[in-house]
């Protein structure tokens, strides 16, 4: 992949995060494009990794990372040093993921 192509995907990923009104407490790494639907509140801790590209993990991914806060009162809170690869997290009320958690491809919460 060319340098400019990598820059485009990086900027596109951060644009999705910015447009989705996420609260990011620290460094965020995005590989591939996540799907983020935010009617409520999504908070990401320090050093969170969102991996949506097949080549970004040893086992690959079957879906991009999906974060969906479905209602205005919904909240998704993800702790520090969390890795999410091709998983879906959807909240009508709240979902809280603690620190140092790895969530693998195909997981649905």
Mean pLDDT for the stretch of residues 20-26: 78
Residue 10 has pLDDT above 60, yes or no: no
Q: Bigger pLDDT: 40 or 1?
A: 40
Q: Give the per-residue pLDDT at 17.
A: 56
Q: What is the mean pLDDT of the chain?
A: 83
Residue 96 has pLDDT above 90, yes or no: yes
Q: CA angle, corner 42, sides to 37 and 48, nearest 5?
A: 105
* Tokens 């990598």 sit on residue: 6
- CA dist 27 and 5 (Å) reads 22
Q: Give the per-residue pLDDT at 22.
A: 77
Q: 3-state DSSP call for residue 41?
A: strand
Q: Bigger pLDDT: 37 or 74?
A: 74
Proportion of the chain above pLDDT 90, given as a percent: 46
Q: Bigger pLDDT: 47 or 61?
A: 47
- CA dist 6 and 1 (Å) reads 7
């Amino acid at each position: 992949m060319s340098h400019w192509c990598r820059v485009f995907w990086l900027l596109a990923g951060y644009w999705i995060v910015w447009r989705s009104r996420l609260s990011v407490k620290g460094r965020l790494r995005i590989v591939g494009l996540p799907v983020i639907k935010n009617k409520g509140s999504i908070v990401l801790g320090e050093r969170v990794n969102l991996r949506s590209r097949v080549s970004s993990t040893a086992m690959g991914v079957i879906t991009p990372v999906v974060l969906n806060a479905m209602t205005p009162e919904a909240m998704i809170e993800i702790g520090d040093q969390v890795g999410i690869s091709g998983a879906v997290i959807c909240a009508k009320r709240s979902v809280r993921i603690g620190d140092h958690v790895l969530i693998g491809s195909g997981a649905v919460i």
